Structures are given as C-alpha cells and as structure tokens.
Amino acid sequence: MWQRSFGKGGDLESGGARPLYPMMLESPELRWAFIRKIYFILATQLLLTVAVAAVVVTVRPISHFFVSSTAGLVLYIFLIIFPFILLCPLYYYHQKHPVNFLLLGLFTVAISFAVGMTCAFTSGKVILEAALLTAVVVIGLTLYTFWAARRGQDFNFLGPFLFASVLVLMVFALIQIFFPLGRISVMIYGGLAAIIFCGYIVYDTDNLIKRYSYDEYIWAAVSLYLDVINLFLALLTLLRAAND
C-alpha cells in the first residue's frame, strides 16, 4: 500500500513526464493527479477556516457569549474537544465516500471555530503577521520538499523525532496551565511549536509524494491541514506574547 513514487526528473507544471523516483511502480500522471487533489482539498479547508474564523472575530456577540456565561464556557470546551472526537470516525471512514467528506467538513468547521475564538482576543496586526509568516513558511517548505524529493532525499526518519517532540510540547503546555512560567516561557513554547510543525509540514509533504495511496486522500489532507493550522497558532502564540 505504501509505495515510493517519484524519482529524479519530471516537471511539476506539466504533470510529470518522468518519475521523481526511478524505482516507482505507478504512473507519474496518476500520482500528480493525486497530489493536485490533495492540495485542492487543503485549499478548500483553509478558505473555509478563514470564512468561519472571520465570522467569529467580526460578530462580537459570538465570542462574548462563550466567555461570559457558564453555559457558553461549557459549550466552548466541548467544541474544543469535538475535533479530537471526530478524528476517530474520520480515520475509520476516510476511504468511504461521501461520509468521509461530510466528516471532513464537520472537522474543518470545528477547528475553524477554535481558530476564530483564538483570533477574537488577538489584535489584527498580530493575526496578519502570523498569517503572512505561515503562508511564506508553508509555501517555502512545500517547494523545498518537492525539490529535495526530486534529488532522492527522504524525510521519513523525522517521524519518531517529531512524535517525541509533540509529547514534550504537550507536557510543556500542561505545565504552563497549572504552573504558569510567564511571558518568556510562552514565547519559548510558541517558538518550539512552530519549529516542530515546520518539521511536520516537510514530513507529511514527503509522505504525500511517496507513501500515501490513492484512496487515502482525506487523511493526507487532514495531516497537512493540521500542520498548517498548528503552525499558524504557534506563530500567533509567539507573536502575541512578544507583542504583550
């Protein structure tokens, strides 16, 4: 199921006349079509996130309801946990159309709401800076990974290190919740998180090029989407702490 595709050569714009990997056993045109499909889904998810987050930020009664009442706070906590609950059925049904797209849309809206609530209490300047930095980093790392893949480089070795780094990050976040360490520690957390999710963008893009099978397009899009969103939130945390 997991195949190495693409070798040296090929043209990204033309759809790839030659494979990026000489040992690939599949049609380059099919793999490029798969990659284009993933990035179309990802772009749709990001546009939906921008739309939902913009509504939450601009319609002030929404954010005030969730922070000014007990019922709103309980609902807010549920909506934060809800995307993690959705990951289970999404993983189980990620190859079953159209249930996979319905779950993906629900998952994206839930994440978008959380992003909107975070942005609702952040200055517009910081949001814009974080968004621009995220766009530049994501585009740069994506182009770099495709360039490196054409030269035979493999980033699969990053998997265990990134997983361990996320565990450390989660422990760091728990310490911050129960024993706040101040603005500098928040900046350190944001910086470390940004570096880790930069690594995940490279790792998941590399998997997209070489390892995901054609029927795993939903899960591939979810992985990249979470990388981009987490990078944005990490940069937002860092810049907000620095701005304060």
Does residue 46 form part of some domain? yes
- The pLDDT score that the predictor gives to residue 4 is 36
Does residue 123 form part of some domain? yes
Range of the domain at 87: 28-243
Does residue 22 form part of some domain? no
- Strands (E) located in 65-136: none
Tell me the C-alpha to C-alpha distance, in Å, between residue 139 and each of 48, 146, 165, 202, 235: 19, 11, 23, 11, 16
Q: What is the pTM of this model?
A: 0.85
Does residue 15 form part of some domain? no
- The pLDDT score that the predictor gives to residue 29 is 78
Answer whether the bond into residue 98 is a cis peptide, omega within 30°.
yes
Does residue 222 form part of some domain? yes
Does residue 23 form part of some domain? no
Do 201 and 228 form a contact (C-beta atoms < 8 A)?
yes
- The pLDDT score that the predictor gives to residue 45 is 96
Number of neighbouring beta carbons within 10 Å of residue 228: 21
- The pLDDT score that the predictor gives to residue 161 is 92
pLDDT tens-digit profile of 38-62?
999 999 999 999 999 999 888 888 8
Does residue 14 form part of some domain? no
Tally of domains within the chain:
1
What residue ranges of the chain have pLDDT lower than 50? 1-17, 21-23
Does residue 7 form part of some domain? no
Rounded Cα–Cα distance for residues 56 and 234 (Å)? 20
